[in-house]
Amino acid sequence: MDTGAHYTLYHPKWYRRPVSVWWWLESWPYTQFVLRELTSLAVAALLTLAQADAIRRGPEAYARFLARLASPLFIVFDVIAFFFVLFHSFTWFNLTPKAMVVRVRGKRVRDSVIIGVNYVAWAVISITLAWILLRGGG
């Protein structure tokens, strides 16, 4: 039985269009994707690594780290990090309906409903955490 398929030992070379390092600047959705990923890395890594290093060095180093957090430079850093978190959250919540198709009784739930539920949950959790933290936790 001859299927007509011919196999070669080595795969033929495919043509691959050269891709620029700046491919993500070609369209806004690509730019959003890269910025979302970079912002999550920046926010999560920088301050966490600095804090872990201060803890590793001992109580005096950690006290200096906490004092440094009150400096104007770190306040500016915190404001920038806050905007990174907002950008990351907004773009992620708006992306959710594309990544997760929800069906109820066989019908697809509208994208705006999924996005809205995400924002409401975000607001409720944020308000609850702020209430717990601002009242002193006890």
pLDDT digits (tens, 9 = 90+) for 102-116: 899 999 999 999 999
* 49 and 87, same domain (yes or no): yes
According to the per-residue pLDDT averaged within each range, which of 29-33, 59-63, 83-87, 96-100 is highest? Answer: 59-63
Provide the residue range defining the domain that includes 120: 108-138
What is the rounded CA–CA span in Å between residue 37 and residue 48?
Answer: 17
What pTM did the predictor assign? 0.65
More confident residue, 71 or 41: 71
Domain-located, residue 81: yes
From the number of C-beta atoms within 10 Å of its C-beta (0-12, 13-18, 19+), residue 24 rates as middle
* 40 and 94, same domain (yes or no): yes
Q: Which helix (H) or strand (E) holds 128?
A: helix 111-134
Domain-located, residue 65: yes
Per-residue pLDDT of 48-90, as tens digits, reads 888 999 999 999 999 999 998 889 998 898 888 888 888 888 8
Domain-located, residue 87: yes
* 96 and 28, same domain (yes or no): yes
